[in-house]
Copies of this chain bind each other. A is one copy, B any other.
């Protein structure tokens, strides 16, 4: 008969096992485990020791089940988007200090947003953080009726009640790109857009108004693009074929811009000698020394922080701020090697 009971065979140890081993009640072990006050120093030590010995690990699910607070934020993200990957990392980092956990749910070609969100709801998340959601506004409204929802990088026009928005000022970003190019002497600047992607409409608009503002309205030219390298490549290929070439391209994002660069290189079009290229996002891609892409940076870290902040605020507030708030953060042009003065 050992003085201290051993761990149960083949099952994960529970609070009760720790309690038995330490010779105290289950409730006290619970107190110790979550660091609440109400336990003496000596006992606390003894309990922790016992827990360590039998390899106790709290059951997140049981814990959540009991406390009506789950302290869980559901994050939906696109598996194939490097930009989302950066955001997710930021969200992890921001959630931890706020005392929240993250449940990830991926969207992929074979797994739609509906599916992704359903799974998060089933996990009893307290709020939803949707990265670049494509779902129609009514669907978002429906979700917002159930729990706080934050849309990141997707603007909602008109605002959907109950859905907070955190995004970069996409139009402003496009404007900065155009301004930069104009200041370098460019006048024939085309935009390869992102189609229906979140943010695409704003960037398009920003490009147009900036062109007008510089009196280049008649030189405005938007090519249908998309968010992959392939889209950028296709668009710029069409550009090289016909008549007079522009001297600069503002691409929807960095991936798109990379496709543009690649085609230009193959066609022996010097960058930035003959053509300047600007991307968007300032992703890892853009920073690579051999690409060295001039791009419009989004402050991913801050975007993530704000998204978590909004969500937590909503969860902890008494639902007072019912109408959707929009937070817009400023983009910042990062000049690298793919833009330069126009050749005489």
Interface residues of A (CB under 8 A from B): 12, 55, 57-62, 64-65, 79-80, 82, 85, 88-89, 92-93, 101, 103-106, 108-111, 119, 121-124, 146, 228-230, 233, 259, 262-263, 265-266, 284-285, 288-291
Q: Which residues of B contact A106 (CB under 8 A)?
A: 88-89, 92, 104
Q: Choose from B65, B80, B263 the contact partner of A85 (Cβ within 8 Å).
A: B80
Would you call B124 and A59 a contact (CB within 8 A)? Answer: yes
Bound complex: CA A37 to CA B179 (Å): 68
Most buried by B among A61, A122, A265, A289: A61
Q: Which residues of B contact A62 (CB under 8 A)?
A: 61, 65
Bound complex: CA A65 to CA B64 (Å): 10
Q: A59-B122, A109-B89 are in contact. Are A284 and B104 (CB under 8 A)?
A: no
Q: Choose from B85, B103, B259 the contact partner of A79 (Cβ within 8 Å).
A: B85
Q: Closest B-chain residue to A70, C-beta based? A: B61
| Copy count, this protein chain | 2
Would you call B123 and A111 a contact (CB within 8 A)? Answer: no
Would you call A111 and B124 a contact (CB within 8 A)? Answer: no
Would you call A288 and B233 a contact (CB within 8 A)? Answer: yes
Most buried by B among A103, A105, A262: A262
Q: A64-B61, A65-B59, A290-B230 are in contact. Are A92 and B104 (CB under 8 A)?
A: no
Bound complex: CA A118 to CA B300 (Å): 26
Q: Closest B-chain residue to A271, C-beta based? A: B266
Would you call A229 and B59 a contact (CB within 8 A)? Answer: no
Q: Which residues of B contact A93 (CB under 8 A)?
A: 110-111
Would you call B259 and A290 a contact (CB within 8 A)? Answer: yes
Would you call B80 and A92 a contact (CB within 8 A)? Answer: no
New A-B contacts (12) at CB < 8 Å, excluding given A61-B65, A80-B85, A263-B290: A61-B123, A65-B65, A79-B88, A82-B82, A88-B106, A228-B288, A229-B288, A259-B288, A259-B290, A262-B262, A262-B265, A266-B290
